[in-house]
């Protein structure tokens, strides 16, 4: 169970690193390095979702279309699900460690 949790936390970060090192996908979505770096540590799936929305679901002027907004919202939901899930399991089991 711990391995699955660790894999869930590391996979989006690995994707960000691969995209940053081997493609220009992240640099087309972000004009500065600050936001993807913060996203790497805080909300990695949302950062990837924003890059997808900006590259695949944007208008020629740079505005994000409705499909892109849906992708970003799904990224936020996934990130908050990964962060909050461990606490919910611990509370249901009755562990006092996470209280």
* Average predicted confidence (pLDDT) for the chain: 84
Angle, helix 66-93 to helix 44-56, in steps of 10 degrees = 170
Q: Indicate the domain borders of the chain.
A: 2-93
How far is residue 53's CA from residue 11's CA, in Å, rounded to a whole number? Answer: 19
Which tens digits make up the pLDDT trace of 29-75? 999 999 999 999 999 999 999 999 999 999 999 899 999 999 999 99
**Higher per-residue confidence, 17 vs 90:** 17
**Higher per-residue confidence, 97 vs 33:** 33
């Amino acid at each position: 169970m711990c391995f699955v949790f660790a894999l869930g936390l590391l996979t989006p970060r690995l994707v960000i690193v691969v995209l940053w090192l081997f493609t220009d996908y992240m640099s087309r979505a972000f004009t500065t390095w600050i936001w993807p770096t913060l996203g790497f540590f805080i909300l990695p799936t949302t950062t990837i979702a924003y890059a997808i929305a900006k590259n695949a679901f944007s208008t020629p002027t740079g505005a994000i279309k409705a499909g892109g907004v849906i992708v970003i919202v799904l990224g936020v939901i996934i990130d908050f699900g990964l962060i909050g899930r461990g606490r919910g399991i611990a509370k249901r089991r009755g562990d006092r460690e996470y209280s």
